[in-house]
Amino acid sequence: MEVVEEYMQRLYESGLYPDKFVCYGKQGNVVDVEDPVSGKRLKLLTFCTNDVLGLVQSEAVRQAAVDAIAQYGTSNSSCSVLSGRIDLHRQLEQEISAFKHLPHTHLFLNAWMAMQALVDGFCHLAINLPGFQNTRETLIMTDVLNHGCILSAVVNAGNRSGKMFSQSPDVRVKSYRHCDVNDFARKLRRYAKPGDRIMVVSDAVFSMDADIAPLPEMLDVLENYPGSVIVMDEAHASGAIGATGGGIYEHFGITPQQVLDRGMVPLIMTTFSKFAASAGAAISSHRKEMIDLLDVSPTSIGTISLPPPITAAALESIRQVRQYPQLVQTLQANARYLRSRLMEHDFEVIGETNVLPVVLPQDVNPKEFARHLMEEYGVWVSAIWFIAKPRLRITANALHTKEEIDLLVEAMVKTRDALYQQPAVVATA
């Protein structure tokens, strides 16, 4: 334990350890939170929840969760391979399949497990089958800024041994520069060997930069490698981009079927922790075999299936989104309004979605900025100080009012005035 203790002591001293807030309740966007420093209770206006459509508080979603507990209890108490699924699992899979236009779907407890199971299953298959051998290598292409769940899954897949999986041919993992299609094409030309199975994995919306993967251009490149698989992690895309919240495919006006028609294979990961007022993840595919493989992957066999209230909340949320696309339109209008107001005040807002990263000057501590916003104005945004460009991460949601957005912007301007001098904007000829 000495190493752990010493490391943690240094981490506390460095100021890099996050403040731990505890929440007691929520009404709209007002949360009742315990201040980790003073222990006092604060009423804060939140701009850091991922409940982007506000469905966590929807009557219909809450009732669905309560009804599921009444019918099934709080847990399924086993994994689906050993003691079956509940009907709600099947309904949720069908709902996601319809939402994502891919007919087969499998559920997981969260994105990390879904991604691990998918990459492992694709590269190494599952249990040992006497007489069956796969010797084909896999080349995985990954954006350098992909979410940790992707990074972890692809690195692990590159290190699997036959102890865990029957098939363990080589997996080569190569990263390409962030959203850089030329680099993507160059790396494919350099690393793809004849006979490779190719899998490309990307965030659809990047969680810290809020930009969108250049899917159409990626497909144009990938078309030169027939049979390639393209995986989109839609954690921040579902319910947020596309006219009805359908995600990256709807955003770009293409369908998974068109990708199939062009000789490539689309796979989609949906998660429920953001737009769907719940937790959990799903992988969707056009092939039943891919989904059945996930069911027998070690990640699925060895763990609990999605609990009934969690499943029911996600199911009802997706039904709400499909029935009331105006929720998505309100979210998008709020995000546009907030973005334009921040830019009007010369904040460096990057990306293009309802996640609004505001990059701060290098010498400004985002934790200090966020603390000031909280203490002086009762506004809660996330401070992101652990990546290269320190920033505030602000998330707009469908419940925010214009007045609340204006209040945030005013508080941001006053906090900036109090903490540092805004660099003068130099006019260019």
Ligand X SMILES: Cc1ncc(COP(=O)(O)O)c(C=O)c1O
From the CB of 167, what's the least distance to ligand X, in Å? 27
Alpha helix ranges (H) inside 223-325: 248-252, 256-261, 288-295, 298-301, 308-323
Q: Supply the DSSP string of 169-204, one letter for each residue.
A: --EEEEEE-TT-HHHHHHHHHHH--TT-EEEEEEES
* Strands 391-395 and 382-384, sheet pairing: antiparallel
- In the region spanning residues 331 to 360, those forming contacts with ligand X, defined by CB under 6 A, are none
| Contacting residue, 199, 235, 328, 331, with ligand X by CB under 6 A | 235
Decide: 22 and 274 in contact? Cβ < 8 Å.
no
| Contacting residue, 75, 168, 255, 273, with ligand X by CB under 6 A | 273
Q: Encoding tokens for residue 66?
A: 């309560």
The three-class DSSP label of residue 8 is helix
Nearer of residues 280 and 308 to ligand X, judged by Cβ: 280
Nearer of residues 244 and 273 to ligand X, judged by Cβ: 273
Question: Which secondary structure element, helix H or strand E, spans residue 375, and what is its range?
Answer: helix 366-377
# binding residues, ligand X (CB under 6 A): 12
Nearer of residues 125 and 276 to ligand X, judged by Cβ: 276
Nearer of residues 233 and 404 to ligand X, judged by Cβ: 233
Binding mask 275-304 for ligand X (x = CB under 6 A): ------x-----------------------
From the CB of 247, what's the least distance to ligand X, in Å? 12
From the CB of 272, what's the least distance to ligand X, in Å? 7
Nearer of residues 125 and 335 to ligand X, judged by Cβ: 335
Nearer of residues 207 and 299 to ligand X, judged by Cβ: 207
From the CB of 233, what's the least distance to ligand X, in Å? 5
Nearer of residues 76 and 207 to ligand X, judged by Cβ: 207
Nearer of residues 197 and 236 to ligand X, judged by Cβ: 236
Spatial separation of the C-alpha atoms in residues 371 and 379, rounded to whole Å: 9
The answer to whether 92 contacts ligand X (rule: CB under 6 A) is no
What's the Rg (C-alpha) of the chain? 23
From the CB of 15, what's the least distance to ligand X, in Å? 23
Nearer of residues 354 and 415 to ligand X, judged by Cβ: 354
Nearer of residues 203 and 211 to ligand X, judged by Cβ: 203
From the CB of 289, what's the least distance to ligand X, in Å? 25
Spatial separation of the C-alpha atoms in residues 167 and 190, rounded to whole Å: 26
**CB under 8 Å to 230, separation ≥6 — which residues?**
199, 200, 202, 218, 219, 222, 259, 264, 265, 266, 267
Alpha helix ranges (H) inside 20-110: 59-72, 80-83, 87-100
Binding mask 242-271 for ligand X (x = CB under 6 A): -----------------------------x
The answer to whether 147 contacts ligand X (rule: CB under 6 A) is yes
Spatial separation of the C-alpha atoms in residues 403 and 420, rounded to whole Å: 26
The three-class DSSP label of residue 22 is strand
In degrees and rounded to multiples of 5, residue 199 shows phi and psi of: -125, 125
Alpha helix ranges (H) inside 27-136: 59-72, 80-83, 87-100, 111-124
From the CB of 341, what's the least distance to ligand X, in Å? 25
From the CB of 152, what's the least distance to ligand X, in Å? 11
From the CB of 271, what's the least distance to ligand X, in Å? 4
Spatial separation of the C-alpha atoms in residues 150 and 206, rounded to whole Å: 12
| Count of beta carbons in the 10 Å neighbourhood of residue 126 | 22
| Contacting residue, 89, 106, 236, 339, with ligand X by CB under 6 A | 236
From the CB of 96, what's the least distance to ligand X, in Å? 14
From the CB of 128, what's the least distance to ligand X, in Å? 30
The answer to whether 56 contacts ligand X (rule: CB under 6 A) is no
| Contacting residue, 31, 52, 55, 111, with ligand X by CB under 6 A | 111
In degrees and rounded to multiples of 5, residue 304 shows phi and psi of: -65, 145
- In the region spanning residues 194 to 233, those forming contacts with ligand X, defined by CB under 6 A, are 203, 207, 233
Nearer of residues 235 and 338 to ligand X, judged by Cβ: 235
Spatial separation of the C-alpha atoms in residues 265 and 256, rounded to whole Å: 8
CA 292, chain centre distance (Å): 24
| Contacting residue, 31, 61, 149, 248, with ligand X by CB under 6 A | 149
Residues that bind ligand X (CB under 6 A): 110-111, 147, 149, 203, 207, 233, 235-236, 271, 273, 281
